[in-house]
Amino acid sequence: MANAPTPADPRPCHLARRAVPAPRPRYEPPIPDHLPDAVRHVMAWQAHVDAGRIGNRIPVSPEIAANRDRWTALARTMRK
């Protein structure tokens, strides 16, 4: 075995042997309590979709999607 370490090979430094910590999860703001359960469920589901953990968004009509995109764009301009 050509790649096997020999007794003459130095040991790796202690930093190279440490485990790399897992990345911190992205902060997700809590879902408000005053919303109905069905709305909270959809918001939680869409948060998982947006994070890339599960499938796709719930299909909506084009006018609702356009309205949501318009409000999202407005919110982003106000946030800057």
In the structure encoding, which two tokens stand for residue 16, read together? Answer: 């190279």
Q: Distance between CA 66 and CA 73 in Å, rounded?
A: 10
Classify residue 79: in a domain, yes or no. yes
Domain that includes residue 60, residue range: 50-80
Residue 67 pLDDT > 70: yes
Model pLDDT for residues 9-25, shown as the tens digit of each residue: 677 676 666 777 777 77
Residue 1 pLDDT > 60: no
pTM: 0.34
Classify residue 19: in a domain, yes or no. no
Q: How many domains does the chain have?
A: 1
Dihedrals φ, ψ of 30, to 5°?
-65, 150
Classify residue 73: in a domain, yes or no. yes
Average pLDDT, the chain: 75
Number of helices (H) and strands (E) in the chain: give both, helices first: 3, 0
Query: CB–CB of 40/34 below 8 Å?
Result: no
Residue 45 pLDDT > 80: yes
Classify residue 76: in a domain, yes or no. yes
Classify residue 11: in a domain, yes or no. no
Classify residue 10: in a domain, yes or no. no
